[in-house]
Amino acid sequence: MKRLHVVAACIAAMLMMPGFRPSGFVPEQLNPAIVLSAENDGMNAFAERYVKLVLAMGQHDTDYVDAFYGPPEWRKEAETAKRALTAIDADAAALLKLLAASPPQKGADELTMLRHQYLTKQVEALRARVVMLQGKKLTFDEEAKALYDAVPPTHTEAEFQKTLAQLEKRLPGDGPLIDRYDAFRKRFVIPKDKLDPVFRAAIDGCRQRTIRHVDLPDTESFVVEYVTGKSWSGYNWYQGNYRSIIQVNTDLPIYIDRAVDLACHEGYPGHHVYNVLLEKALVRDRGWVEFSVYPLFSPQSLIAEGTANFGIEVAFPLRERVAFERDVLFPKAGLDPKLASEYYEVFALTDRLSYAGNEAARQYLNGQIDKNTAAAWLERYALYTKPRAEQRVRFIEQYRSYVINYNLGKDMVAAYINRRAGDDRDKRWAEFEKLLSSPRLPSGLTHQ
């Protein structure tokens, strides 16, 4: 999950832009050295098979295909064929054998090596999802490893208690802490009629900071829509052709921190930029068709959510963020700017409780606690209000161990970027952009 309580996943519509044909498939735009390589031809054939497998999975699992902007006839084929799970699995197993028998040549460049590892892990994760759809129960940790290529840490209640004790001191008074926290936060709700101008200002702030460091195609853009009745709070539906639709769920009150969070996470430099850079660098420049599809339950999601969450800090280091909130967003939302730093002090504390959400998910999905206990656990240790805890449990039911991608993903990406760039701001952006433009796997974040 992201930051406080709201969950932003990133599905994408399965729409093609009318008349759109990815220029990655236009030979004159490809690097001739790459096109002519026999090895690349072999990988391209494997990649096409993988995309078709992902599309075939979409017939069994409506959440599976998060984005697809490759040849539209491939989707039609998948719809018509409606291949059985056993056939998909057999084909995936055969593809893995072929991949294992065709390792990259010695001296291949880093991206070529990463491409081979990425495709292998993505197909392995697809097979794990087949097994789940066939009814096999994996534990939370087994599922996280199989789908997201990462092992989630466990945290004890005592660890969360320490943070809760600090919050007790920070928000003194009578009654349960959750009520005091809720009363504190109520002063920071964005009024409904101010939502759109506040989000627009936040998006502008995130975009300005991003384009100073990252080269984006001139035609990139997205639209924002306000929706209700979802288990998530925000969503990026990548359409291809450098365009996204970003949806914001207004079922529950939206607090002021969500404006920058959502604008960065879903937009700049988060999901929108990630998808744009993959399309530009890999699909179009290299003709790597596998990146025109995005299976939600796969290692790619840990990188997507981890970079989207860490991107908030890349764009807005804390001090700059508080200044931006105080000077721009608080006034636009009609909130008292003098309260901005106080709000973010408390926010920093509650952010440490995000892993409590993973523990609730682990226990619930492992069958150790029921739905109501999971919601109560979220209220107690993650300070979710009741309606938000209930929304979160619905998210856990729908997306399961996907929850680790937000906080563990962010921490893994943060460690990777910090190791390579330290505090140097330009270097951080450069490494971040490189990560967004390459097929690096979650396990590859910790090894290098």
User: Which positions lie near Zn ion, rule CB under 5 A?
Assistant: 8, 10, 305, 308
Compute the least distance from the CB of residue 433 to Zn ion, in Å.
18
Which amino acid is it at 302?
L
Give the nearer residue to Zn ion in terms of CB position, either 40 or 275: 275
Give the nearer residue to Zn ion in terms of CB position, either 167 or 245: 245
Give the nearer residue to Zn ion in terms of CB position, either 118 or 235: 235
Give the nearer residue to Zn ion in terms of CB position, either 141 or 305: 305
Give the Cα separation of 117 and 19 in Å (integer).
33
The strand pair at 8-9 and 293-295 is best described as unpaired
Give the nearer residue to Zn ion in terms of CB position, either 99 or 408: 408
Helices 404-421 and 425-436 pack at an angle, to 10 degrees, of 130
Q: Which residues contact 265 (CB under 8 A, 6 or more apart)?
A: 2, 8, 234, 271, 308, 309, 311, 312
Give the nearer residue to Zn ion in terms of CB position, either 305 or 390: 305
Compute the least distance from the CB of residue 359 to Zn ion, in Å.
21
Compute the least distance from the CB of residue 220 to Zn ion, in Å.
18
Compute the least distance from the CB of residue 417 to Zn ion, in Å.
18
Q: Classify 382 as helix, strand or coil.
A: coil
Give the Cα separation of 56 and 207 in Å (integer).
36
Give the nearer residue to Zn ion in terms of CB position, either 238 or 377: 238
Give the Cα separation of 191 and 344 in Å (integer).
19
| Cβ atoms 412, 446 nearer than 8 A | yes
Compute the least distance from the CB of residue 42 to Zn ion, in Å.
33
| Cβ atoms 89, 56 nearer than 8 A | no
Q: Which residues contact 196 (CB under 8 A, 6 or more apart)?
A: 224, 226
Give the Cα separation of 426 and 145 in Å (integer).
33
Compute the least distance from the CB of residue 235 to Zn ion, in Å.
7
Compute the least distance from the CB of residue 11 to Zn ion, in Å.
9
